[in-house]
């Protein structure tokens, strides 16, 4: 005879568990029901409750009940993770049951002289224990939450420090190894190209030169990205006038055919560091390289205000096609490469903005807004020294 083993093989049904996110509603509901019950039994025993007794009951029973309702409201908005709600509920229930048990034991040996007094005493014990336990659980949960957040912040800070150290190493590696090697390759290719008479070899040398120059540009972009990832010192400032003067001078030297006018103040400082030069280097290069006129004309002006310094870079090029404007500052922009994408990242990093203000057949206007460094901050900072001015 076979035995029925279905009970053995049947999986046990999971026990229903209290969902922790409902704990604030449960605590609030308990407080509300407790306040309601106070009203009910007060009405029921109105004949034997005098005014002082009514006031004491309202204060010592109704007060904790209202406190539980308010506590549930605060708990939902405290930022404490719901995973710790269960612990708070345990403290609340434990406090209510424990304090009630102690007072019930006292009531057995020293009862009140009437039923209304005993009910009031028990109700007071229940509410006071509940609000006391809730307070202990809430404070404990908040302390644990802060400790966890502090630990996470410390770990994250250590990770960021390690990441920045790695990025600094990669930046140095690109600068001293890859960039130097690329420039050496390009330089030797240029020397050979100047002395070579074989057209086929000259074509290959031109390819090496061109690819070497493009590789150098890519390395510069990557270095700019690495620089952007370094958090600037909040107190560091830069002499924007000196920085713009240097960038304009460099572009004039690189692009002989271009005319660059600069209307700059005598000196103005902005929050940031030397990485700001990438923003204006990219904007000036784009203004010239994407200009199909015989003599590209670019004008740089500065509008200085108490809180911001605005730099306007305007050109007389053909303008930016409408279909390219929406993606102009995106990484995959095909019309302007990584330059404008990097410019926006860097501007955001320094608390500023860069935008296309106007574009059309008469040219384009880009506007860069940067936080103005206050006089006090400029006097106190020792972060970045002003960049040298190049005539």
CA distances from 283 to 215, 253, 255, 287, 340 (A): 20, 16, 14, 6, 7
256 and 158 both lie in a single domain: no
- Final residue belonging to a domain, choices 204, 230, 256: 230
Q: How far apart are CA 167 and CA 223, in angstroms?
A: 9
297 and 368 both lie in a single domain: yes
How big is the chain by its Cα radius of gyration, in Å? Answer: 37
On the 0-12 / 13-18 / 19+ scale of CB atoms within 10 A, 212 is: buried
189 and 326 both lie in a single domain: no
For residue 84, being part of any structural domain is answered with yes
85 and 30 both lie in a single domain: yes
For residue 364, being part of any structural domain is answered with yes
226 and 244 both lie in a single domain: no
What is the total count of domains within the chain? 2
Q: How far apart are CA 312 and CA 289, in angstroms?
A: 18
88 and 31 both lie in a single domain: yes
Q: How far apart are CA 133 and CA 270, in angstroms?
A: 54
> Under DSSP, is residue 298 helix (H, G, I), strand (E, B) or coil?
strand
The pair of structure tokens assigned to 298 is: 């670019």
For residue 386, being part of any structural domain is answered with no
CATH number of residue 301's parent domain: 3.30.565.10
Range of the domain at 219: 17-230
For residue 9, being part of any structural domain is answered with no
Asked if residue 60 lies in contact with residue 128, where contact means CB atoms within 8 angstroms, the answer is: yes
26 and 155 both lie in a single domain: yes
Using left for φ > 0, alpha for ψ between -120 and 50, and beta otherwise, residue 114 falls in beta
Per-residue confidence in pLDDT tens, the chain, 391 aa: 445 545 455 555 455 555 778 899 999 999 999 999 989 988 888 888 888 888 888 899 999 999 999 999 999 888 888 888 999 999 999 999 999 999 999 989 888 888 888 899 999 999 999 999 999 999 999 999 899 888 888 888 888 777 777 777 777 777 777 778 888 888 888 888 888 878 788 888 888 888 888 787 777 767 766 665 665 555 678 899 999 999 999 999 989 899 999 999 988 999 887 778 888 988 998 899 888 888 999 999 999 988 899 999 999 999 998 888 888 887 654 444 457 887 888 888 888 999 999 999 989 999 999 998 864 344 444 344 433 333 3
Angle at which helices 85-109 and 63-76 cross, to 10°: 170
200 and 299 both lie in a single domain: no
- Final residue belonging to a domain, choices 230, 263, 295: 230
Report H helices in the chain: 6-9, 23-44, 51-57, 63-76, 85-109, 115-173, 179-195, 199-228, 240-254, 276-289, 322-325, 339-349, 375-380
For residue 6, being part of any structural domain is answered with no
For residue 337, being part of any structural domain is answered with yes
171 and 152 both lie in a single domain: yes
The pair of structure tokens assigned to 183 is: 């420039």
For residue 211, being part of any structural domain is answered with yes
> Under DSSP, is residue 218 helix (H, G, I), strand (E, B) or coil?
helix
213 and 279 both lie in a single domain: no
137 and 160 both lie in a single domain: yes
For residue 391, being part of any structural domain is answered with no
270 and 218 both lie in a single domain: no
pTM > 0.75: yes or no = no
Asked if residue 364 lies in contact with residue 314, where contact means CB atoms within 8 angstroms, the answer is: yes
- Final residue belonging to a domain, choices 230, 248, 276: 230
């Amino acid at each position: 005879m076979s035995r029925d083993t279905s009970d053995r093989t049947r999986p046990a049904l999971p026990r229903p568990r209290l969902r922790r996110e409902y704990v604030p509603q449960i605590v609030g509901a308990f407080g509300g029901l407790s306040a309601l019950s106070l009203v009910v039994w007060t009405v029921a025993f109105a004949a034997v409750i005098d005014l002082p007794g009514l006031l004491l009951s309202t204060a010592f029973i109704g007060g904790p009940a209202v406190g539980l309702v308010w506590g549930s409201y605060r708990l939902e908005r405290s930022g404490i993770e719901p995973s710790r709600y269960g612990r708070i509920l345990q403290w609340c229930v434990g406090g209510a049951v424990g304090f009630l048990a102690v007072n019930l034991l006292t009531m057995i040996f020293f009862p009140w002289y009437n039923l209304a007094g005993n009910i009031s005493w028990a109700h007071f014990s229940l509410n006071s224990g509940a609000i006391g336990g809730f307070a202990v659980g809430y404070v404990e949960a908040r302390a644990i939450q802060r400790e966890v957040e502090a630990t996470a912040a410390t770990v994250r800070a250590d990770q960021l420090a390690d990441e920045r150290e790695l990025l600094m190493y990669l930046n140095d590696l690109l600068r001293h190894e890859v960039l130097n090697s690329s420039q050496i390759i390009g330089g030797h290719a240029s020397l050979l190209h100047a002395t070579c008479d074989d057209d086929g070899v000259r074509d290959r040398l031109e390819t090496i030169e061109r690819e070497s120059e493009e590789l150098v540009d890519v390395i510069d972009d990557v270095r700019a990205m690495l620089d952007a990832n370094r958090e600037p010192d909040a107190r560091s400032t830069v002499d924007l006038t000196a920085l713009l003067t240097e960038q304009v001078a460099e572009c004039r030297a690189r692009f002989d055919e271009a005319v660059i006018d600069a209307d700059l103040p005598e000196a103005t400082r902005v929050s940031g560091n030397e990485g700001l030069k990438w923003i204006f280097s990219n904007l000036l290069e784009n203004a010239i390289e994407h200009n199909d006129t015989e003599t590209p004309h670019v004008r740089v002006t500065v509008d200085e205000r108490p809180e911001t310094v605005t730099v306007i870079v305007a050109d007389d090029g053909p303008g930016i096609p409408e279909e390219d404007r929406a993606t102009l500052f995106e990484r995959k922009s095909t019309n302007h490469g990584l330059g404008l994408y990097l410019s926006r990242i860097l501007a955001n990093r320094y608390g500023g903005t860069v935008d296309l203000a106007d574009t059309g057949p008469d040219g384009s206007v880009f506007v860069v807004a940067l936080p103005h460094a206050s006089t006090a901050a400029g006097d106190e900072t020792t972060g970045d020294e002003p960049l040298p001015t190049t005539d």
